[in-house]
Amino acid sequence: MIYSFLMMGFPLLIVKPNFYCPDADGRGLSVCLEKDYCSAVCITSADGLVTTCPTVRDSGETTIATDFQLYCDRSYLTGLLGSVLFFGNSKNIKRILTLV
């Protein structure tokens, strides 16, 4: 039961959050791609009154990617996590089959 949840539910565990980048005028945020978020910087409006910085907002669900901030320079860890999970499960399955 747990094995099937981990295999089928794994993509749900690594869902990335929503990324927001400053607008060109520096007065608001708009949805952007992860690569744009990672390279974005804070923008100050022309009048100097508003400074808008890139931000991350999750959809309310807690995932491994949001808990451990697995995006930008740490995004490679999601692939590594999947490999470790599948390797560990393959070792477990071999052990179970030898007991049967």
The pTM is what? 0.68
Mean pLDDT of the chain: 78
Sheet holding 55-57, edge to edge: 29-32, 18-22, 55-57
Distance CA 65, CA 12 (A): 10
pLDDT reading at 97 higher than 70? no
Cα dihedral across residues 74, 75, 81, 87: positive or negative: negative
pLDDT confidence tier of residue 14, bands split at 50, 70 and 90: confident
Ranges of each domain in the chain = 2-99
Adjacent-strand bridge partners of 43: 52
Ranges 37-51, 67-81, 82-96, most confident: 67-81
Percent of the chain with pLDDT over 70: 77
